[in-house]
């Protein structure tokens, strides 16, 4: 059995920077640390409202990273043009609404087949591997295959809503079935959203899952495990 890979989403490093409009913390520095920690890929979501990651972050990551860069974005002509300029290894097309706190649901690939097919074709012609972020439903997987996507990312939000992983068994079974269906359709199957230290293992154990994309919980944990050192360094300056 091949082991699942970890894509680390560093959007919320940029969130912390943007709340003060300063130069730190730098997503690039966080990405390098994530690479050192074993990240197999780095993911960023360049949102239309640029609330966290900025275009310059994507360019810097693209120029510097050793692992593949996965760019999440809306399937708009403006974003497709940016992706074709930046040439990340992977693009994951996601639905986007300005008011949402985070990506709330999967793309309705079945309802938007012609527009998505055109965007996917343009990106693929640019040498980019394209994934669609969809709910774990057969109709969405079948539409994704018809559209010509290389991969899907299964939305794990419903699974992650359960705080007790054993209570999430039904959702987990649905994700396993969706993974098998996606693989049978010839798609690479990734998954993500809301994954934490207490609910990721069961998902990683699903046969055929390629990459798990995880952001918020890792950035939150990094703050806690790094706090003692950060205070020690400032304490030394204050007391010097």
State which residue, 86 or 93, has the beta carbon closest to ligand PXP.
93
The helix (H) or strand (E) run that includes residue 86 is helix 77-86
Question: According to the binding rule CB under 6 A, does residue 103 interact with ligand PXP?
Answer: yes
Residue 15 and residue 222 in contact, taking contact as beta carbons nearer than 8 Å: no
Distance of CA 166 to the CA centre of its chain: 24
DSSP string covering 114-158, please? HHHHHHHHHHHHTT-EEEEEE-S-HHHHHHHHHHT-SEEEEE-HH
Total residues found in the chain within this entry: 240
The interface mask with ligand PXP, positions 56-85, x = CB under 6 A, is ----------------x-------------
State which residue, 102 or 235, has the beta carbon closest to ligand PXP.
102
Question: According to the binding rule CB under 6 A, does residue 193 interact with ligand PXP?
Answer: yes
Question: According to the binding rule CB under 6 A, does residue 92 interact with ligand PXP?
Answer: yes
Strand partners, 188: 151
The interface mask with ligand PXP, positions 9-48, x = CB under 6 A, is x-x---------------------------------x---
Cα 228-229-231 angle, rounded to 5 deg: 70
State which residue, 57 or 72, has the beta carbon closest to ligand PXP.
72
State which residue, 5 or 45, has the beta carbon closest to ligand PXP.
45
Residue 12 catalytic?
Answer: no
Output the CA–CA distances (angstroms, integers) from residue 200 to 39, 62, 129, 237, in the order listed: 15, 27, 25, 39
Output the CA–CA distances (angstroms, integers) from residue 54 to 32, 60, 73, in the order listed: 17, 10, 12
Candidate list 195, 203, 206, 222; residue touching ligand PXP; CB under 6 A: 195
Contacts with ligand PXP, residue ranges (CB under 6 A): 9, 11, 45, 72, 92, 94, 102-103, 133, 153, 192-195, 213-217
Catalytically active residues, by annotation: 45, 72, 193
């Amino acid at each position: 059995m091949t082991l699942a890979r970890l894509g680390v989403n560093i959007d919320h490093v940029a969130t912390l920077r943007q709340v003060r409009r300063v130069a730190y913390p730098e997503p690039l520095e966080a990405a390098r640390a994530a690479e050192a920690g074993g990240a197999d890929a780095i993911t960023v979501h360049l949102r239309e409202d640029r609330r966290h990651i900025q275009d310059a972050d994507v360019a810097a990551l693209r120029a510097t990273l050793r692992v593949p860069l996965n760019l999440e974005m809306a399937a708009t002509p403006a974003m497709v043009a940016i992706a074709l300029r930046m040439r990340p290894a992977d693009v994951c097309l996601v639905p986007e609404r300005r008011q949402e706190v985070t990506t709330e649901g999967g793309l309705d690939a079945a309802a938007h087949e012609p527009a998505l097919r055109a965007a996917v074709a343009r990106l693929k012609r640019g040498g980019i591997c394209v994934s669609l972020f969809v709910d774990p439903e057969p109709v969405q997987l079948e539409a994704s295959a018809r559209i010509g996507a290389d991969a899907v990312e299964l939305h794990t939000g419903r699974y992650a809503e359960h705080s007790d992983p054993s209570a999430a068994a039904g959702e987990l079974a649905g994700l396993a079935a969706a993974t098998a269906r996606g693989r049978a359709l010839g798609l690479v199957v990734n998954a993500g959203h809301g994954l934490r230290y207490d609910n990721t293992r069961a998902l990683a154990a699903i046969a055929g899952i390629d990459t798990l994309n995880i952001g918020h919980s890792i950035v939150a944990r990094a703050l806690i495990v790094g706090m003692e050192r950060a205070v020690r360094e400032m304490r030394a300056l204050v007391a010097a």
